[in-house]
Structure 1
Amino acid sequence: IRTGGFEVTFPWRLCWGLKLLRILPRPFCRWVISTATCWKARPLNFDRKPPSE
């Protein structure tokens, strides 16, 4: 914290991980999140097929 203020973080392991993700480049951050959550891109409309595995 730059201003030296008080911050409550719980759970601290999760908070440090999220702070680390904020300083990473956006494409790498999105890749980490999608890998960790096993999220595949949703189709933009009903006619589009979901990605095959």
Structure 2
Amino acid sequence: MGLLKRCIRCGEYTLSQTVCPRCGGELRNPAPPKFSLEDRYGKYRRALRELAMEQS
């Protein structure tokens, strides 16, 4: 049994693992990442936020 996924194009929830059966869009995990005091991806998130601020 697979995990629940959500289409980023139409917002439909599905158990499919490849593409959305309704619109063919990309699927993502709908749950946020687990909280941890050791933020393994913090530097990437901050760099992405800084890049977005420079472009706007």
TM-score tier after normalising by the smaller chain length: under 0.3
TM-score by length of 2: 0.26
Larger RCO of the pair (alpha carbons < 8 Å, separation 6+): 2
- State the TM-score, normalized to the length of structure 1: 0.28
Greater helix fraction, Structure 1 or Structure 2 = 1
